[in-house]
Amino acid sequence: MSEKHKISVIGVGYVGLCTAVGFATKGYLVVSSDVDPEKVAKIKEGIPPFHEPRLTEMLKAAIQKGKLKCLINQTEAAVLETDVTYIAVGTPSKPDGSIDLQYIEAVSRDIGKALKKSSNYHIVVIKSTVVPGTAQNTVKTILENTSQKKCGEDFGLCVNPEFLRQGSAFEDTFNADRVVIGSFDKKSGDVIEEVYRGFYSPKVPPIIRTGLATAELIKYASNAILATKISFINTIANLCDKIPGADVKLVATAMGLDKRIGPLFLDAGLGYGGSCFPKDVKALIACSKALGYEPRLLESVEEVNHEQPLKAVELCKKLLGGLEGKRIALLGLAFKPNTDDMREARVVPIVCELLREGAIVVAYDPVAVNMAKSLLKDTILYASSVVECLNNADGCIVVTEWDEFRKLTPNDFRKYMKQPVLVDGRRIYDPAEFGKKLKFAAIGLGKGL
């Protein structure tokens, strides 16, 4: 193999494109392929199909330097041009919470066909999040059957989960806390380890070598503990709501100073959303049950998260004495700041509940309005600025903690709203300051409401 491996990435959704651009930026030659022609057309022009800080300039540079190619549905060609292939297609949820492997299976068949034609030792790396056993039982079997070759001899197989967060994908890619490489055969694991040692040189993060199933589980366990921290602190927040004078923010700050607990992922709010935590917790529950183990802790994590967004509506209703006919301004639509992703966004159950209560809803988000329109359609009104959103509103709920909203002062709310009623769903405002000038409530702020 050449000194710098040629890499193919199959599937250029969020994970695939960030992986492809990350490798291309580090000087690797990357050939990607995706079944969606519109997405490929955009990428070829250097236009990312989603919002991610730094992606636009890095994608443009990678294409201009000839380091990144993007093909339409040509997995075989991409595999044959390269020596390492990353599978980065989606693994969506089925109605029972288990993951749908149809894209993984289809791609594995195409890779297998290419391997049949190739005479080189090729390594297949699963980047997609897949439940334990998928690499061994599904991917390896399909690759061997289709290629008529033997895993571990003619080709290698690894699981290399990603831990990048939307909104900070490149910061996470270039400064990883750890790299996990699960391999079927030692040889393929050694090659992928060498790839990452080169990628991160000279500051190589800890590299954890495991078997396939352990690597698959590390990804789910990592997301599940973070989701658990969030549901835990939201449980404490809901308890604080019942205790006059209690404040979850101070509870979390003090808890976080304990080195064994740590300060991160203890922000109480409206719960977790996005394409990963909700899906992965559900998949881990389904996987556990299929193996005959009842994962009660994870079921509770999910239950708490399901109810959490409604707490903001409850607080708003209490402050206003009812929501019928009231104009409610929502600040933020995306599932978190710095993204336009609306998947499992907390705003959706909030909107449903507000509409059920008879409120008129108007919302503003710095980047997610277009995405939101395709999901929420004309059930709500869309504002093009904070001022337009707050104008004449009876109540306001902060749904996403964009920096733009953090800068608002109590006077901004007083100036534009019909009634200065504010619910801080993300704990971005100082209750002492905002509580003095507004009818103010916040998640986990015991007001005895």
- Is residue 317 within 8 A of residue 323, CB to CB? The reply is yes
Structure tokens at 75: 């997995």
- Is residue 276 within 8 A of residue 129, CB to CB? The reply is yes
- Is residue 263 within 8 A of residue 257, CB to CB? The reply is yes
| 346 Cβ contact list (under 8 Å, min separation 6) | 269, 270, 271, 273, 308, 309, 335, 399, 425
Residue 234 CB, nearest approach to ligand UGA (Å): 8
Residue 15 CB, nearest approach to ligand UGA (Å): 6
Instruction: Give the residue with the Cβ less far from ligand UGA, 76 or 162.
Output: 162
Q: Could you list the residues that contact ligand UGA (CB under 6 A)? A: 129, 162-166, 223, 226, 230, 265-267, 269, 271-274, 276-277, 335-336
Instruction: Give the residue with the Cβ less far from ligand UGA, 144 or 340.
Output: 340
Residue 426 CB, nearest approach to ligand UGA (Å): 8
Cα 108 to Cα 10, 84, 142, 144, 210, distances in angstroms: 10, 14, 6, 10, 22
Instruction: Give the residue with the Cβ less far from ligand UGA, 79 or 276.
Output: 276
Instruction: Give the residue with the Cβ less far from ligand UGA, 268 or 396.
Output: 268
CA distance 195 to 7: 10
Residue 127 CB, nearest approach to ligand UGA (Å): 10
Residue 114 CB, nearest approach to ligand UGA (Å): 27
CA distance 275 to 343: 6
Q: Which among 70, 276, 316, 389 is annotated as catalytic?
A: 276
Residue 224 CB, nearest approach to ligand UGA (Å): 10
User: How many residues belong to the chain?
Assistant: 449
Sheet holding 122-126: strands in order across? 68-72, 30-34, 7-10, 84-87, 122-126, 155-159, 179-183, 207-210
CA distance 383 to 393: 12
| 100 Cβ contact list (under 8 Å, min separation 6) | 91, 92, 93, 94
Beta bridge partners of 125: 86, 158
Instruction: Give the residue with the Cβ less far from ligand UGA, 70 or 443.
Output: 443
Instruction: Give the residue with the Cβ less far from ligand UGA, 126 or 417.
Output: 126
CA distance 33 to 78: 7
Residue 213 CB, nearest approach to ligand UGA (Å): 18
Instruction: Give the residue with the Cβ less far from ligand UGA, 164 or 319.
Output: 164
Residue in this structure with the two tokens 């990312």, named with its chain if needed: 48
CA distance 427 to 349: 19
Instruction: Give the residue with the Cβ less far from ligand UGA, 115 or 215.
Output: 215
Concerning whether 276 is annotated as a catalytic residue, the answer is yes
Beta bridge partners of 328: 361, 395
Structure tokens at 431: 């209750």
Burial class (CB in 10 A: 0-12, 13-18, 19+), 96: exposed
Residue 332 CB, nearest approach to ligand UGA (Å): 10
List residues with catalytic annotation: 276
